Structure 1
Amino acid sequence: MQKFILLGILLIQLQVAMAMEVSAGKLQTLPEFEFDGIAPRPVHVWLPEGYPGQAPYAVLYMHDGQMLFDASTSWNKQEWGVDEVASKLQASGQTIPFIVVAIENVSETRHGDYFPQKARTLLPEAERRKEHPFNRAELRADKYLQFLVEQLKPYVDANFAVSPDPAHTFIAGSSMGGLISLYALLEYPQIFSAAAAISTHWPGIKPGDDLPVAAAIRAYVEKKLPEPGSHRIYFDHGTETLDAHYPPLQKKVDTIMHNAGYNSPAWQTRVFDGHAHDENSWQARLAEPLLFLLGKNQDSLGEK
């Protein structure tokens, strides 16, 4: 019994030691939710300095929540610096007041949670019959978004000083998190008015794989893209490491956007030379998607 008590104490100490800290604003960890069909995970809410003094606030939902605030607790010792960047933008009056809801990932299930689930059904039948790990993988993005929309958002709307309407509800993420952010807007256009897909992992699986997953994702986007006028979408990528695979795929998506009638400032695709596929690069340019989503002068976006 004593061994179990000691183990419990050590686990508590480890959890305290690994608790994320922010250098601007404050971070709250929400109570545990009932999860249906996806693995349990922590959810945090970042509140800017002075909250709730500028209520009502907009809400930005972000994925990979454990990578957003504190490099000392992340697996690669990098972070997005969301608290610092968001605080500076709000303090300078460049954005409307907003909070950030950070949903942690579960590394073992991340790909299945974030891959746009309905896109797989658009693979040609012959490709779906192939003995390929992707065809056998369990995809849970629909359940993940159901949790976000039906459980998490109602809790946030009821317990924080926010505007619940689509005009003040946004979503953002990088890599596979970029795919699930876009998927969220396309599946729930009545909930989210804008999405930022940063370093979007358009291959969907390993780059260079011969299964035409990227084409299936594009077919889904083309099929589900809302009519222009009520939604805004931001894409970007770097030019190094994994991001080096994205330019030709992004151009094909850009063609879909253009043909659907999207133009600046409602749609923006940015290229950042020298940026890699990592949190340091996303931190370096984080102000750009935040200004696109939440900036007070959105009419001038995309004209740089």
Structure 2
Amino acid sequence: MKKLLILFFISTFSFAQNKIKSQQIIDNEKFQGIINRIETFPSKYITPRTVDIWLPKDYSSNKKYSVLYMHDGQMLFDATTTWNKQEWMVDEVSTKLMQENKTDDFIVVAIWNISQIRHTDLYPKKPFQLLSIEQKNKVLVEAKKSQFAFDENKINSDNYLKFIVKELKPYIDKNYSVYTDANHTAIMGSSMGGLISMYAICEYPKVFGKAACLSTHWIGFREFENNPIPETFFTYMTKKLPNPKNHKIYFDYGTETLDADYVKYEHRVDEVLQSKGYTTENYKNLKFENENHSEASWQKRIDIPLQFLFGK
């Protein structure tokens, strides 16, 4: 029989006179650890959404934890509720790594997406602004051929990052026993989540000391001839990547389905990072043959970036 305990409590959020109702979920059949769920996290920057805070089973206020912020939070812990019945198994893998003493202790803050606005929330705005008017028009024509409804004026990634940095992180720092410095704060995502994680460490290097970007969606929308989008990301990274002396960044990619479109750009990722002084000590760009663009593939290798970010 499923063992499920839900506890409700109210806490006052410092940046506004909003009250956050959180439910604590302990399910021994599904979760390794405890999930505190805030179903409508208040925000003045973005559409309010669910946030899950995953804590290890032995979480204690008597010690400090690093923090991992992750995007697409509804895909991380429970395959029975995801649209494709796949999950990252972040709780199981994280638990195993900590139990085996392969990583420092950490908690995971999982930000759910809202599917209708996911692309405009996660598409980095400043790289898009590097396009010429002619290039933008070409991109918008191609975007209409994809599943993405796109309008430059609706790109909301700068506000999405403000939500994390100015609203969500202060709440986590106040209510959980965590380190608050950049060296103990990481951000991770896949596909568009990879792009916004790259953007986050570049825009807020004093907040995020580490980032992991899996199957990063360099093509922006869909691949097409003479696609100018990837180079906007590499130009932006050349200007904005933070100091490699106190930052770490992880990239990877598969070779099947949508990931196959990224392969021809991966040499540029290496060129840019190496030109900025990154070495094998503080960056990775790993290829996974025959892996595709799915939670099932990311689940197989999630232990690698977790150890890169928090490994002992």
Same fold? TM cut 0.5 = yes
| Partners of 1:202 and 1:250 within 8 A in 2 | no
Residue of structure 1 in register with 2:236 after alignment? 220
Which one of 254, 261, 284 corresponds to residue 270 of structure 2? 254
Runs of 4+ off more than 6 Å? none
| Partners of 2:125 and 2:157 within 8 A in 1 | yes
Hey, what's the Cα distance between the residues in 2 that align with 1:131 and 1:190? 33
Hey, what's the Cα distance between the residues in 1 that align with 2:95 and 2:225? 41
Which one of 170, 195, 203 corresponds to residue 211 of structure 2? 195
| Partners of 1:95 and 1:291 within 8 A in 2 | yes
Cα distance, 1:226 vs structure 2: 1.5
Hey, what's the Cα distance between the residues in 2 that align with 1:194 and 1:241? 28
Counterpart amino acid of residue 262 in structure 1 = Y
Residue of structure 2 in register with 1:277 after alignment? 293
1:113 aligns with 2:121: yes
1:100 aligns with 2:115: no
Residue of structure 1 in register with 2:168 after alignment? 152
Counterpart amino acid of residue 178 in structure 1 = G
Hey, what's the Cα distance between the residues in 2 that align with 1:284 and 1:20? 25
Residue of structure 2 in register with 1:11 after alignment? none
User: What runs of 5+ residues in structure 2 fail to find an aligned partner?
Assistant: 1-24, 144-149
Hey, what's the Cα distance between the residues in 1 that align with 2:295 and 2:52? 18
Query: Deviations 1:126-150 (Å, cap 9, x if unpaired)?
Result: 3235582557341000000000000
Hey, what's the Cα distance between the residues in 2 that align with 1:37 and 1:23? 31
1:229 aligns with 2:245: yes
Residue of structure 2 in register with 1:78 after alignment? 86
Q: Partner of 1:277: helix, strand, or coil?
A: coil
Residue of structure 1 in register with 2:179 after alignment? 163
Which one of 138, 141, 151 corresponds to residue 136 of structure 1? 151
TM-score scaled to structure 1, two decimals? 0.87
- RMSD of aligned Cα (Å): 1.8
> Which structure has greater helix proportion?
1
Hey, what's the Cα distance between the residues in 2 that align with 1:201 and 1:123? 17
Q: Partner of 1:182: helix, strand, or coil?
A: helix
Hey, what's the Cα distance between the residues in 1 that align with 2:296 and 2:304? 14
Q: Partner of 1:170: helix, strand, or coil?
A: strand
1:59 aligns with 2:67: yes
Residue of structure 1 in register with 2:310 after alignment? 294
Query: Deviations 1:137-195 (Å, cap 9, x if unpaired)?
Result: 41000000000000000000000010111110000000000000110000000000010
| Partners of 1:115 and 1:180 within 8 A in 2 | yes
> Which structure has greater strand proportion?
2
Counterpart amino acid of residue 299 in structure 2 = Q
Change (3 A) 1:107 1:194: same
1:265 aligns with 2:302: no
Change (3 A) 1:52 1:120: same
Counterpart amino acid of residue 215 in structure 2 = S
Residue of structure 2 in register with 1:123 after alignment? 131
Question: Would you say how many aligned residue pairs link Structure 1 and Structure 2?
Answer: 278
Hey, what's the Cα distance between the residues in 1 that align with 2:62 and 2:102? 14
Which one of 26, 33, 43 corresponds to residue 51 of structure 2? 43
Counterpart amino acid of residue 49 in structure 2 = R
Counterpart amino acid of residue 239 in structure 2 = K
Counterpart amino acid of residue 74 in structure 2 = Q
Counterpart amino acid of residue 127 in structure 2 = A
| Partners of 2:211 and 2:250 within 8 A in 1 | yes
| Partners of 1:177 and 1:197 within 8 A in 2 | yes
1:179 aligns with 2:226: no
Cα distance, 1:123 vs structure 2: 0.8
